[in-house]
């Protein structure tokens, strides 16, 4: 084999090798992307089920009860002289708040339970191990807002309940009501109306 033929063969082999290398690189890149996708999906699943490794059902329910107890605040009672105008040397009890009460909040419940976002709470409520306890906790939050509907200026409670999926009955009836149509049909009866005086028979 001549040197020129050998040189051409080497160039052809190099071209084929380079082409195959590009194809292999593309497949490697796709393989790496797929591995990253499954790794992220696995980590996301672990994140959603992290409560499975921290709480059992009783502990999780106790944690929920602890939140509703926590928002009531903490106080102690001190005895102080009476400030009434009447002559009274007795002592009266006065409540001193160490930590003021807080309103019940769905986001507050999420933070207290260890979730990092409201979306994570809702996702765990759909697929988590303790989803039944979490749904009951949401119902307790809604019940607190429902109580405020019987107080003055319940606008904030109405807005909160609507954001949780509640709807007004009037609005629902309005959307569900079908539009009604009125049909008028003129039926000719009796003698035909004359078009002019000539058509009138005497």
Report pLDDT digits (tens) over 114-124. Answer: 888 888 888 88
Kindly state whether residue 184 falls inside one of the protein's structural domains: no
Minimum mean pLDDT range among 32-41, 45-54, 148-157: 45-54
pLDDT above 50 for 27 = yes
pLDDT grade, residue 53 (50/70/90)? very low
> Using one digit for the tens of pLDDT, what is the confidence trace for 128-144?
888 899 999 999 999 99
**Entry pTM:** 0.54
pLDDT grade, residue 186 (50/70/90)? low
Kindly state whether residue 132 falls inside one of the protein's structural domains: no
Question: How far are the Cα atoms of 189, 190, 191, 199 from residue 196, in angstroms, in the given order?
Answer: 19, 18, 14, 6
Question: What pLDDT, on the 0 to 100 scale, is given for residue 156?
Answer: 86
Question: What pLDDT, on the 0 to 100 scale, is given for residue 92?
Answer: 83
Kindly state whether residue 126 falls inside one of the protein's structural domains: no
136 CB contacts (<8 Å, ≥6 apart)?
64
Residue 113, CB-side half-sphere exposure with 13 Å CA sphere: 33
Kindly state whether residue 188 falls inside one of the protein's structural domains: no
Task: Return the beta strands (E) in the chain as ranges.
Answer: 74-81, 91-99
Residue 194 per-residue DSSP state: P
Kindly state whether residue 33 falls inside one of the protein's structural domains: yes
Kindly state whether residue 134 falls inside one of the protein's structural domains: no
Number of domains the chain contains: 1
Mean pLDDT of 140-159: 88
Tokens of 12: 């052809």
Structural domain span for residue 31: 10-48
Kindly state whether residue 164 falls inside one of the protein's structural domains: no
Kindly state whether residue 136 falls inside one of the protein's structural domains: no
Closest Cα partner for 168 from 156, 158, 160, 179? Answer: 158
> Using one digit for the tens of pLDDT, what is the confidence trace for 90-104?
778 888 999 999 999
């Amino acid at each position: 084999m001549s040197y020129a033929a050998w040189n051409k063969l080497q160039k052809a082999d190099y071209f084929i090798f380079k082409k195959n290398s590009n194809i292999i690189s593309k497949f490697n890149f796709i393989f790496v992307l797929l591995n990253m996708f499954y790794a992220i999906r696995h980590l996301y699943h672990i994140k959603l089920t992290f409560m499975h490794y921290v709480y059992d059902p009783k502990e999780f329910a106790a944690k929920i009860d602890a939140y509703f107890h926590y928002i009531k605040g903490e106080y102690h009672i001190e005895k102080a002289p009476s400030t009434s105008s009447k002559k009274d040397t007795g002592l009266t009890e006065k409540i001193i708040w160490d930590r003021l009460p807080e309103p019940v909040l769905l986001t507050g419940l999420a933070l207290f339970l260890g979730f990092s976002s409201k979306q994570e709470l809702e996702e765990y409520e759909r697929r988590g191990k303790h989803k039944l306890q979490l749904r009951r906790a949401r119902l307790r939050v809604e019940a607190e807002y429902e109580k405020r509907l019987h107080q003055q200026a319940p606008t904030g409670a109405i807005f909160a309940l609507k954001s949780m999926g509640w709807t007004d009955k009037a609005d629902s009836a309005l959307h569900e009501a079908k539009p009604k149509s009125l049909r008028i049909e003129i039926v000719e009866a009796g003698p035909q109306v004359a078009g002019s005086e000539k058509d009138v028979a005497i």
